[in-house]
């Protein structure tokens, strides 16, 4: 299954989600932003390093960088991305699973978002892909 995770800046939430989906579900996954910051928030990187799933392949990119690709599922993780989400072919399932933005907050906020994604995002995608979780 091929998944696209969308948010606004593609520096925190979508990067964390991309790493979690890849590590725990093994899906092909990319993330992108409607207004990308083109840098990964250092605390997002740190939370993924502590989880043991950080990779240099995770980087901030624009939605335009991935629009030519086919995805089975597109997940918006913030309300802005939902509003700006382009139309995808009918066969592409689009989900909106919003998460609080941890940017400009302490490391504890990043840990909370990571754990919330493990509880809410991963099970939703596991069901769609008919894949056992953990």
- Catalytic positions, written as ranges: 7, 78, 85
Q: Which residue has the tokens 């998944």?
A: 3
Q: What angle do CA 67, 73, 79 make, to 5 degrees?
A: 80
CA torsion angle 117 94 18 84 (round to 10): -100
- Nearest-angstrom CA–CA distance, 60 and 62: 7
């Amino acid at each position: 299954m091929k998944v696209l995770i969308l948010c606004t800046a593609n520096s925190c939430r979508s990067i964390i989600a991309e790493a979690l989906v890849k590590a725990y579900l093994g899906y092909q996954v990319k993330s992108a932003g409607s207004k990308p910051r083109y840098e990964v928030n250092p605390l997002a990187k740190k939370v993924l390093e502590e989880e043991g799933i950080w990779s240099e392949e995770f980087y901030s990119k624009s939605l335009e960088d991935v629009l030519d690709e086919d995805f089975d599922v597109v997940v918006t993780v913030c309300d802005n991305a939902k509003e700006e989400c382009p139309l995808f072919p009918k066969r592409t399932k689009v989900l909106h699973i919003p998460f609080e933005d941890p940017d400009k907050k302490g490391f504890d906020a990043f840990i909370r978002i990571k754990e919330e994604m493990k509880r809410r995002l991963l099970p939703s995608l596991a069901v769609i892909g008919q894949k056992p979780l953990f």
